Amino acid sequence: MVKKRDTKKTVRMKIAPATEKDKKEAMAIAKSLKEWFNKEGIKNMAIDFKMNSLLVAKEKEKVLAFLSYTTYSGKMLLLWMGVRKDVQRLGIGKALVDYLVKESKRLKMYAIEVETLPEEEVYEPYERTRKFYYKNGFKRIFYKKARVKCWDDQIVLEKKIN
């Protein structure tokens, strides 16, 4: 259970691997987060949801948030995450990352890695995203120049698992 301090809004939720129905609801949430995910992102996310692992946070069987991940060579890769707009900033994103940390420990991964837009690219919504990752223990480790014309430069963030 998570509670927002100022509004006392409370969410009772469970985190679990997504069912096929959950995946559809998670996609609908992703599509609603238009400041973060464009058409190309949504197209890629749909493939990643099929090919990789997906966690969802649910309240009364309704999906509130998702986190897509995979592993590669001893590290956990956080591919995508999103929390429904009306329940952001209630600790749901943190609860999903905490779950991934537990899973990473269980699998003896050395770190969780995530890519996001760099500070150098001034765009307010992703400032919030970076604040969230930095608050949750991720550190910027390097800058990745886009190799394809229509891609964005990215930064790679890492959270060590101990």
Ligand X SMILES: CC(C)(COP(=O)(O)OP(=O)(O)OC[C@H]1O[C@@H](n2cnc3c(N)ncnc32)[C@H](O)[C@@H]1OP(=O)(O)O)[C@@H](O)C(=O)NCCC(=O)NCCS
Residues of this chain that bind ligand X (CB under 6 A) = 33, 36, 80-83, 88-94, 116, 128-129, 131-132, 135
Give the span between the Cα atoms of 126 and 134, in whole angstroms. 12
Contacts of 66 (CB under 8 A, 6+ apart): 18, 22, 26, 29, 30, 54, 55, 56, 57, 80, 81, 82, 96
Q: How far is the CB of 43 from ligand X (least distance, A)?
A: 15
Q: In the complex, which residue's CB is closest to ligand X?
A: 93
Q: How far is the CB of 153 from ligand X (least distance, A)?
A: 15
Q: How far is the CB of 154 from ligand X (least distance, A)?
A: 11
Q: Whose Cβ is closer to ligand X: residue 9's or residue 128's?
A: 128
SS3 79: strand
Q: How far is the CB of 23 from ligand X (least distance, A)?
A: 16
Q: Whose Cβ is closer to ligand X: residue 28's or residue 108's?
A: 28
Give the span between the Cα atoms of 44 and 28, in whole angstroms. 14
Q: How far is the CB of 162 from ligand X (least distance, A)?
A: 21
Give the closest residue to 118 by CA, choosing from 150, 96, 148, 146. 146
Q: Whose Cβ is closer to ligand X: residue 11's or residue 103's?
A: 11
Q: Any idea what DSSP says for residue 78?
A: E
As a 3-state breakdown, the chain gives helix, strand, coil percent values, each rounded to 5, of 35, 35, 30
What is the token pair recorded at 42? 């949504």
Q: Whose Cβ is closer to ligand X: residue 105's or residue 128's?
A: 128
Q: Whose Cβ is closer to ligand X: residue 104's or residue 116's?
A: 116
